[in-house]
Amino acid sequence: MKIDFTKASFKDFENIKDFSVQQRADVHYEFLQYMKKSGHLNYRLLGNSGCGPLIDIQNVDGTGSREYVSLVSNDYLGFTQHPKVKATSIAAIEQYGTGAGASPLIGGYYSYHKELEDMLCRFFDREPGSAIIYNTGYTANSSSLMSLLQKEDIAIVDMAVHASVYEGIQLTNTKRFLHNNLEDLERILKMVQPQYRTKLIIIDGIYSQDGDMAKLPEIYALARQYGALIMVDDAHGIGVIGEAGKGVLQHFDMKDKVDFITGTFSKTFANIGGFVISNPNISSFLQYQSRQNAFSATSSPAVAGVTTAIRLLEEEPEWQAKLWENINHLKSGLVDLGFDVGTTQSAIVPVKIGDPHMTSEVGKILLDQGIYTNPILYPAVSKKDARIRMSVMATHTKEQLDKVLEGFEFSDKKLHIAKIKYKN
Ligand code: PMP
């Protein structure tokens, strides 16, 4: 079987009929070399500096490095570099060492984990014992869902939910509804009414590719009408949306309404890990039944930095304010240049281009200009919906964002990618 590299996407290499794993890896490697030659392989670029608005990246050919304006980090408030956050992680390592040494169920559950879980309960106004932490946001979704939903149940998911949700619902029944589409959701809820034991609607607070917000109040009303539970993954809402960055649930004043809140420590909370908030009995069920908590060692003491990041949301609201100044500056600049930024309501700013090849070209031109963005192609988005995706940080300067705007203006001069041309 011959794959046409000019039209291929990573999806085409997932499984190839009659190819052994080695043959698949070999043809995949050839594809990577093809992309590298065309200058479109801007994945796994090697950063020499830490997370931040500027990043030093190793040249692809291995010769030296260069500084870029970075739009690829979800460290929205810049807390990975905040001295108080760092100090808390360092102090916890001094006190507890560098690792937890066991899964939480059998010896790896420490006071710094408990303190973090208690803080998360307070952050979401839930009773003590309602939170459980995981090693990543990915496994908070995938590992919890795998034990929550079985073959008698059904997951009803917005088609744009994160990959980790899809992984978690493989053992149960599933229905997908069109993104944020209430009619389609209701159609499915009516259809599945009597059959299933537990019906769980799963949505994101902010969607990771378009940056738009879930229609939570309407979805909640439908869930109650048809006897379904709701899980909201607010990975991209926390720190960005709502008073003191308490996320989409705070924005809609619905913190006490949804059945499950999940999220990550890898974005605003500037660390690694994730969480599930529900109620104390479900949390303790997950402590024993969710396989990660039994079979995988838990977070290292460095995770204690999250407690300071949570405190800073209230103590230093200026970061959230600065983030919004930056989001508005970049968004309005792009719109003025005629670009289509879609329906974003968050720190995720997509520039919709459509054609995958053209999108990769824009990514390359921007890199040449010293601007690091993510070209997002199929299968992450549909084939006709390729875009450049950027994440804005509170610590970007206006000059850095202006450089990004100039980069897009330059790309448009070369490739004519802006959708709306203003005449004056
Ligand atoms: N949920 C959403 C909506 C995400 O965008 C991501 C990661 N980008 C995750 C979960 C996974 O989080 P983590 O990086 O902590 O695994």
Ordered per-residue pLDDT tens for the chain, 424 residues: 678 898 888 889 999 999 999 999 999 999 999 988 888 888 899 999 999 999 999 988 788 999 999 999 999 999 999 999 999 999 999 999 999 999 999 999 999 999 999 999 999 999 999 999 999 999 999 999 999 999 999 999 999 999 999 999 999 999 999 999 999 999 999 999 888 999 999 999 999 999 999 999 999 999 999 999 999 999 999 999 999 999 999 999 999 999 999 999 999 999 999 999 999 999 999 999 999 999 999 999 999 999 999 999 999 999 999 999 999 999 999 999 999 999 999 999 999 999 988 999 999 999 999 999 999 998 889 888 999 999 999 999 999 999 999 999 999 999 998 875 443 3
Whole-number pLDDT of residue 420: 58
Pick the atom of ligand 1 nearest to 207's CA. 3
Q: What is the CA radius of gyration of the chain?
A: 22
Cα–Cα distances (Å) from 39 to 84, 260, 362, 364, in that order, read 40, 43, 11, 6
- 273 CA distance to ligand 1 centroid (A)? 10
Amino acid identity of residue 329, one-letter, is H
Angle at 326 between CA 325 and CA 332, to 5 degrees: 90
The neighbouring-strand residues paired with 235 are: none
H or E element, residue 263: strand 260-264
**Measured from the CB, is residue 211 less than 6 Å from ligand 1?**
no
Instruction: Kindly give, in sequence order, each residue whose CB lies less than 8 Å from that of residue 226, ignoring residues fewer than 6 positions away.
Output: 186, 189, 190, 193, 199
Which one of 266, 272, 299 would you pick to mutate in the ligand 1 pocket, going by the greatest count of ligand atoms within 8 A of its CB?
A: 266
3-state secondary structure of 7: coil
Can you tell me which atom of ligand 1 is nearest the CA of 273? Answer: 15
CB 112 within 8 A of CB 303: yes
| Cβ-proximal residues to 16 (8 Å cutoff; 6+ apart), any chain | 1, 3, 23, 24, 27
Length of the chain in terms of residues written: 424
Q: Please report, as a single letter, which amino acid is at residue 26.
A: D
Q: Is the CB of 138 under 6 A from ligand 1?
A: yes
Q: Which two tokens stand for residue 331?
A: 């968004």
Among residues 169, 127, 161, 121, which one has the least CA distance to residue 144?
169
Structural domains of the chain, ranges and CATH numbers in brackets: 34-70+318-419 (3.90.1150.10), 84-315 (3.40.640.10)
Alpha-carbon span 145 to 19, nearest angstrom? 32
Mutate to test the pocket of ligand 1, among 264, 271, 275 (most ligand atoms within 8 A of CB): 264
Q: Please tell me the pTM assigned to this model.
A: 0.96
Q: Is residue 371 within a helix (H) or strand (E), and if so which, with residue range?
A: strand 371-372
Residue 189's nearest CA partner among 162, 214, 224 is: 224
**Closest Cα partner for 188 from 203, 176, 200?**
176
Q: Which residue is it, tokens 């913190």?
A: 255
In angstroms, the CA 30 to CA 1 distance is 14
